[in-house]
Amino acid sequence: MSTAAEQARAWLAQDPDPVTRSELEELLAAADDGDSAAAADLDDRFAGRLAFGTAGLRGRLGAGSNRMNRVLVAQAAAGFAAYLLERAGDDVPTVVVGYDGRRNSDVFARDSAELFAGAGLRAILLPRLLPTPVLAFAVREFGADAGVMVTASHNPPDDNGYKVYLGGADEGSQIVSPADAEIAAHIQRVADEHDVTRLPRSVGYEVAGESVVDAYVAATAAVAPAPASAEGLSWVYTAMHGVGWETFSRIVDAAGYPAPIPVTAQIDPDGAFPTVAFPNPEEPGAMDLAFEAARDAGADLIIANDPDADRLAVAIPDQAADGGWRRLTGNQIGLLLGWRAAREAAERGEVDGRSLACSLVSSPGLAEIAAHYGLDFRATLTGFKWISRAPGIVFGFEEALGYLVNPATVRDKDGISAAIAMLGMAAEARGRGATVADLLDELGATFGHFASDQISVRVEDVSQISDIMAALRAQHPTSIGDVAVDRVDDLLAGGGDLPSGDVVRIWLTDGSRLIVRPSGTEPKLKLYIDVRGDSSADADARLAATADGARALLDALG
């Protein structure tokens, strides 16, 4: 096996990027001079390949096969083109490419478009940096065979990624198995057999006109046109240094809502994300500037998107919260939006064969809402690649701030259409003198008071996670705290209506639920807790007691 230094020199021979070439040359020189840190860095960069999976590619920018860079993206584009050509037979596949405001997103997107065109595909590049939901929309709007979005969503600033969608029967959803393995095999062949500088390229790709953005704006504004009671609604918006604002502002205007108070320091795209340590509205501190703006304005609510605008965060005034504002959980937003979708489906008389869907680890309250309105309910594995494929879906969500509210046009999470739907709910409540907090109370009174929590255990050695999962399967707990275990579902083998996955679901006799699974992206074990109480206070008390019992279980297993 070649050394990391030998692999690095071979990499340099095909790297078209002067930045990563210089980076690698400096590392090689330092390693040759005996710098152990430089040698360790080289080893890490060439320890393997950044894996292509159902989430596409995602990783830190830099030179090397274990980083995101122009060589890796060229191999991915050429491999994906080969997959699409093989799938298309005698037809010419069409692929749409979009990109956000992260560092190198535009470069990776143009490289991809040139390589797709050079391989004989019809390649369409979106006209400028745009939200991920616009790319998902464009795949269907153009009747394309596939789409690629260059984004790392809410990852750290030094990351970028390559998200892949399929058209046709997949209706613009993200890829699922076995497509991921088939695409990965093509990419590996390209990496093994080709110098990327010799791959055919063409500037004969198309650049989409503004009409595709106009169509997305019109379709999304129609999700929730502003009622008369929207007048006077005061709200704050942050784009989290991402690409959401330009598109979202047009939709807000087209739908008839008053303009928000913008968090000006975060409103424009900036791949350095200068005001946040981590550009994810779930992270502590990420929404502090929005809270400050809302306090100053006496606003009714806060709307936030993540950097590629496929996620939505909402915050409301709460005098009991530190700083007077409280960010709603993903489950709370999901249940509110699911309630809205189910009610509207029932009013249209469109419930037969239609469903609400959420990931297994999201609130079971959505099943109650579905049953109340006569809709089917589908629980899926985590990820919108699964949620979007639920038969007859009218709404889907996952607790990590992802919501699918407009499946007729976007088969992926869409933080912009979800934001419009939330503005509609807030405005309608305002028309009868209520707030979003009142809507949450009404939700609990109608469907039950649900509360959720999550415990994450980070490990140094990923084998610890498999050891804990094996121990849990070998000896199921008989109780969690003072509450007996009713039954345990092991989803490893699937079966019945359960999807297959490395997940253990524990049901307690009081109706509470614990789900244990490895993280799909980090060296973490995750435990999700859901309870239902007779009141909001009762649910909070049950949640605290169950969380204490869950921590004791993890201590015993680990």
Active site residues: 153
Following CA atoms 292, 296, 301, 302 in sequence, which dihedral angle do they give, to the nearest 10 degrees? -30
Measure the CA dihedral 491/493/498/501, to 10°. 50
| Residue tagged 């345990």 (tokens) | 488
Q: CA-CA distance, 539 to 329, in Å (whole number)?
A: 15
Sign of CA dihedral 381, 304, 354, 536: positive
CA distance 457 to 257: 42
Cβ of 553: how many Cβ atoms within 10 Å? 21
Number of helices (H), then strands (E), belonging to the chain: the values are 17, 22
Structure tokens at 191: 């990496």
Q: Please give the Cα distance from 201 to 183 (Å, whole number).
A: 20
On whether the CB atoms of residues 316 and 248 are closer than 8 A, the answer is: no
Q: Note whether 66 and 46 are within 8 A (CB).
A: yes
**Three-state secondary-structure class, residue 356:** strand
Burial of 246 (0-12, 13-18, 19+ CB in 10 A): middle
Say which amino acid occupies 447.
Answer: F
DSSP conformational letter for 178:
T
With both helix axes pointing from N to C terminus, report the angle between 36-45 and 18-32 in degrees, rounded to the nearest 10: 130
Rounded Cα–Cα distance for residues 474 and 484 (Å): 18
- Asked whether 163 and 149 are in contact (CB, 8 A), the reply is yes
Q: Which two tokens stand for residue 194?
A: 């080709």
Which ranges constitute the DSSP H helices of 400-456? 415-431, 436-447
d(CA 109, CA 97): 6
Note the helical H segments in 33-104: 36-45, 70-88
User: Among all chains, which residue has been given the structure tokens 């939330």?
Assistant: 422
The residues, ordered by sequence, that sit 6+ positions from 528 with a Cβ below 8 Å of its Cβ are 361, 399, 452, 453, 454, 514, 515, 517
What are residue 236's DSSP bridge partners?
A: 261, 302
- Measured CA to CA, the distance from residue 503 to residue 479 in angstroms comes to 18
